[in-house]
Structure 1
Amino acid sequence: MSLQARVGLLAFVAVILGVGLTVGGSYFLTQRELRQEVDDFLERRAEVVAGTLGNPADAGARGELGTLPVIGVIELADFDAHVQILDGEGQPVFSIGAVVLPVGSEERRLATGGDAPVRRTAEIDGQRYRILTAPFSGEGAVQIARNLDETDRVLNDLLRRTVPLGAAIAVAAATAAWLLTRRALRPVAQLTDATERVARTQDLAAAIEVNRGDEVGVLARSFNAMLEALRTSRQQQKRLVADAGHELRTPLTSIRTNVDLLQRVESLQEGERRRILTDVNAELHELSELVRELVELAGEPGADDEPFATLDLADLAVEAADRARRRTGREIATEASDREPVSGQLGSLERAIDNLVGNATKFTPEGTPIRILTAGGRLEVHDAGPGIPIEDQPLVFDRFFRSASARAKPGSGLGLAIVKQIIERLDGHVWAGKSPMGGAEVGFEIPTGKADDH
């Protein structure tokens, strides 16, 4: 069953329940009110009869006033209730009307000396009567009864009017709910169609038109944002594959050329053969680094399995400087002005700092200074090299970007892109600019705090 049908059915059931409760409540209240009116009427009539007769023996003083029969001063003609007089033993001694009222144990007990009136509803000759039995001041009792046909007719008329009306209201409410739901869920239907179209055609350019601000509109806008993100991701993926293919082609071509030369090993001098093998080894190393960086960049290293820890960027900077110093023999200084901890993934942050320091050692001349400055969640790497041209500074963190002056250097152009990916995953940002030392300043900043706060 569709959502639209379920909402319509739910509205129908809810309205039916509401109408049922309303009709039932109205019926119950009306029945109680009418019964109370009948009971009040019977009490008034019982008071008149009991006050006139005094005791059951007076019922024998029946006479006539003109053409009207009387008991004392009570005119019997057109009396609007059935009357039955009980003696002190609970036996009927007189009645007005052709209906014989039932006398039970409670009525007999009342006639022999009780004081609380007895009320009940009884069926006599197929008709329902409301009966009140009230005591005389001495002994005996008077029974007053009234036919409930009029009361039942009023209640039946109430049901006949309200039940069809309630059903009509329920049907109208369900229809209105179905129509409103159809209109409200139109963007959902469009969303479903768009989803199926994207799954069928792989076309991520199809967006949903949104002109509403409710929850369904929010859902549609979220879907459009998802399509835009997927479209951007696909474009980046295509660009990554194209760039990777371009970058892989150079070392592979070089390796193939050198292997072709080695196949003519008999005609090569030993020194030439050794030089070719060295070139092949270097190209293989560069190719391995490129593949590793591609895998790392595509797989978001550490995003899933590496736990967060409370870290000190100053300590990580010192360790990165030691590793670079052992690898290159360069002198790298560190300076910390604030030791506020950060929350991050150890391996990922080490990788980011190593890439920044490695970038500085790669593009600066031997003997020039390199400094790593830290302050809380901020880390900067300064060098005294040629620096980064202003027009290239916004681009150095893009995948495979290499400035014109850096293309002669080994590398893939992925190192700073990996740094950006790691830092942005920690809600930080990266930058590149000119260092006071005359070269480049490249760094990042991430929020401070302990791992428990992440």
Structure 2
Amino acid sequence: MTPPTGRPLPFPSGASPLPIPSPPALPPHPPLPPGAGGPGARGPGGAGSTGPAPGWRGLPARLARRLNRVPLRARLAALTAAAVALAVAACAVAAWFIVRDQLNERLDESLATYDISPRQLQNQLTACSGGVEVPSPPSPVTVQIVTAEGDSCVGANMIPVRVTDSDLTVAAEGPRAELGPYTPEPGEFRQGTSADGTETMRVLVRPLGGGGALLIAQSTASMEAALDNLVRLLALAAGAGAGVAAVLGLLVARGALAPVHRLTGAIEYLTRTGDLRTRVPVEGDDEVARLSRSFNAMTTALDASRARERDLVADAGHELRTPLTSLRANVDLLLRSERTGRTLPTEQRVRLLDQVKEQLVEMSTLVGDLLELSRPEGERHSTPVKVVPLHSTVEQAVRRARLRGSGITIDTDLGHWYVRSDPAMLERAVLNLLDNAVKFSPPGGRVEVRLRHGELTVRDHGIGIDPADAPHVFERFWRSPSARGLPGSGLGLSIVAQVVRDAGGTVALAPADDGGGGTVATVRLPGWATGGDADAATATGATGVSGAPGLPRATGVPGVLGVPGVPGGERDRRVPDGPVTPIRAVTPARPPQPARRPGPADGRGEGTGDGAAEEPPRS
């Protein structure tokens, strides 16, 4: 090698001074252009930055709108793939840092334990001073001697290391050290480069004392190549994992969203066709299954409501057609008599006019019943109510029923009871119960009416009621097959149930269980035994039953609700303080009784007595 020129190198072993070449100077940095940085720079990070460009404003909203157009299945698959990719990327980054640190530790350990003998240094110094260097095998480790003045000497077949100011400081101020075993401090390792700047080096700086330092360095090219291979491998693994996750997410989402697709298809089919018989198969017991059950329940309820609406229209048309046909025939007969001049006898003419009046009253009653039953619950509750003596209302209804049921004996046993209700509708409900009992009583029969502690019972001695028909007696237009030949529209008991329910009470119809045959209608209404109690409750601001305006609140006043099946034969119990919860009209559970099958001439049809022969009672 060509001997370099330079200043003498002090060596700890007392060797003669040798010329050491100086390290090459680093090229200076080019100056920054005006405005490229600093406080006055404009741009994303400068002080003069004015925020994001206008094109970026509203970007999240636009992305959200576009994302909402993507099918849910694709979104789930994309989110799954993104989550897996992020997880794999995080693991890859962590693995890269761990591997890099481990490789650095191994490299540092190999530099710290590198064996340097005085003979090797003497041979290297001889070569630097122009002597002949003893040949040595190529080594990946560079051993370079530097002085505090910046001179350096490197052996043959070694990559020169760029000397830094910190290296010169160690050479100038470092303590004297022997060449034997050495334990470096963490700060003595640094990242460096080769003298020509083409390679990255890991450098250990060992002080030699006497103004010298030893640089032991090795290229990190192999380590960087290993890290690059690791990055490619991890990127491939992340991409493969994200792809597999996307496929699996798509399959899982397709299976998980299959019930949602079925439900969506059913709703779209229902919207398109209006077919309320549409049902969705229910599988499992998860949220989608619950939603499917709710949808099926909704369509079932809507289908039943539509069926009831159709039945209501059909039954109303049928019930209106009968009096209209008779009315038209009578009017045609009267008109023909007037046009032809063939005057009808006075008696026949009066009879025809009476029939026309009865038919008009029947139609008016039917229309009124339909209007009353079709009123929304809120409108019914807005009707003014007041304290009504139930016993007086029953007495008035009994008098009217006696006039309409000639030959039928009606016995009464009425105790005082005051309720809050619409007086006209309450009398109408009681009259419908009495008409129903009178209609199905045998000639010369007896009807027993009893009122005790808010429980009104109407008992007849007719043919009774078939237990199979009991659940339907309060349905609109329902009539038992054996009673369809009798007059009536099937709305009477429906009105009874509605009026009683609005008053916060209950109504039930069941076969008599005392062995005497017939039917017992039981109405239970909350109220007061005396008018003073009713007035006191009204003065205290009773708000009503279950929020119905004007209905009584059983707070501190004697009130009774009928409860069937109480031990000891009692069928009443006192109402505790607080609002009374209204109960729908139901048939109380009773032991099965032998049903009396109606004969061809006297079929029983609860729910048909509606007082259709006269106008509704007025208060």
Give the structure 2 partner of residue 249 of structure 1: 321
**Displacement, 1:304?**
8.9
Residue of 397, 413, 430 corresponding to 2:490: 413
Q: Please give the secondary structure, in 2, of the residue aligned with 1:371.
A: strand
Q: Please give the secondary structure, in 1, of the residue aligned with 2:461.
A: coil
- 1:20-419 paired onto structure 2 within 5 Å: 20-45=89-114, 62=125, 78-87=138-147, 89=148, 91-96=150-155, 98-113=158-173, 117-124=187-194, 125-136=197-208, 140-205=212-277, 207-210=279-282, 214-260=286-332, 263=335, 267=343, 280-298=356-374, 301-302=376-377, 320-325=390-395, 329=399, 333=414, 357-364=430-437, 369-372=448-451, 380-386=455-461, 389-391=464-466, 392-402=469-479, 408=486, 411-417=488-494
**Displacement, 1:34?**
2.0
CA contact (8 A) 1:90 1:107 kept: no
Q: Which moved more, 1:30-39 or 1:229-238?
A: 229-238
Paired positions, count: 416
User: Residues 406 and 118 of structure 1: is their aligned pair in 2 closer, same or farther, counting only changes over 3 Å?
Assistant: same
**Displacement, 1:218?**
4.5
CA contact (8 A) 1:20 1:166 kept: yes
Q: Please give the secondary structure, in 2, of the residue aligned with 1:381.
A: strand
Q: Please give the secondary structure, in 2, of the residue aligned with 1:363.
A: helix
- 2 CA distance for matches of 1:151 and 1:453? 83
Structure 2 unaligned runs (5+)?
1-69, 176-184, 401-411, 439-444, 525-561, 564-574, 583-619
Give the structure 2 partner of residue 432 of structure 1: 509
- 1 CA distance for matches of 2:500 and 2:331? 41
Q: Please give the secondary structure, in 2, of the residue aligned with 1:390.
A: coil
Q: Please state which structure has a larger fraction of its residues in strand.
A: 1
CA contact (8 A) 2:191 2:200 kept: yes
- Normalization by structure 2: what TM-score? 0.54
- 2 CA distance for matches of 1:189 and 1:387? 58
Give the structure 2 partner of residue 441 of structure 1: 521
Q: Deviations over 1:121-170 (max 9, x none)?
A: 33433222223335457765433322111111111111222212321222
Q: Which moved more, 1:18-27 or 1:102-111?
A: 102-111
User: Residues 369 and 389 of structure 1: is their aligned pair in 2 closer, same or farther, counting only changes over 3 Å?
Assistant: closer
User: Residues 126 and 353 of structure 1: is their aligned pair in 2 closer, same or farther, counting only changes over 3 Å?
Assistant: farther
User: Residues 99 and 16 of structure 1: is their aligned pair in 2 closer, same or farther, counting only changes over 3 Å?
Assistant: same
CA contact (8 A) 2:206 2:213 kept: yes
CA contact (8 A) 1:355 1:415 kept: no
**Displacement, 1:382?**
0.7
- Percent identity of equivalent pairs: 31
**Displacement, 1:277?**
5.8
User: Residues 20 and 273 of structure 1: is their aligned pair in 2 closer, same or farther, counting only changes over 3 Å?
Assistant: farther
Q: Please give the secondary structure, in 1, of the residue aligned with 2:477.
A: coil
User: Residues 406 and 5 of structure 1: is their aligned pair in 2 closer, same or farther, counting only changes over 3 Å?
Assistant: closer
CA contact (8 A) 2:458 2:522 kept: no
Q: Which moved more, 1:358-367 or 1:382-391?
A: 358-367
**Displacement, 1:222?**
4.4
Q: Which moved more, 1:233-242 or 1:214-223?
A: 214-223
User: Residues 93 and 303 of structure 1: is their aligned pair in 2 closer, same or farther, counting only changes over 3 Å?
Assistant: same
Q: Please state which structure has a larger fraction of its residues in helix.
A: 1
User: Residues 368 and 420 of structure 1: is their aligned pair in 2 closer, same or farther, counting only changes over 3 Å?
Assistant: closer
CA contact (8 A) 1:130 1:148 kept: yes
CA contact (8 A) 1:90 1:103 kept: no
Structure of greater Rg: 2
- 1 CA distance for matches of 2:450 and 2:122? 127
Give the structure 2 partner of residue 342 of structure 1: none
- 2 CA distance for matches of 1:59 and 1:452? 112
- 2 CA distance for matches of 1:394 and 1:420? 13
- 1 CA distance for matches of 2:188 and 2:580? 77
User: Residues 441 and 147 of structure 1: is their aligned pair in 2 closer, same or farther, counting only changes over 3 Å?
Assistant: same
- 2 CA distance for matches of 1:150 and 1:61? 26
Q: CA RMSD in A?
A: 5.0
Residue of 88, 92, 96 corresponding to 1:19: 88
User: Residues 171 and 61 of structure 1: is their aligned pair in 2 closer, same or farther, counting only changes over 3 Å?
Assistant: closer
Structure 1 unaligned runs (5+)?
340-345
Q: Please give the secondary structure, in 1, of the residue aligned with 2:377.
A: coil
Q: Please give the secondary structure, in 2, of the residue aligned with 1:239.
A: helix
User: Residues 363 and 113 of structure 1: is their aligned pair in 2 closer, same or farther, counting only changes over 3 Å?
Assistant: same
CA contact (8 A) 1:386 1:440 kept: no
**Displacement, 1:4?**
2.4
- 2 CA distance for matches of 1:140 and 1:388? 129
Give the structure 1 partner of residue 73 of structure 2: 4
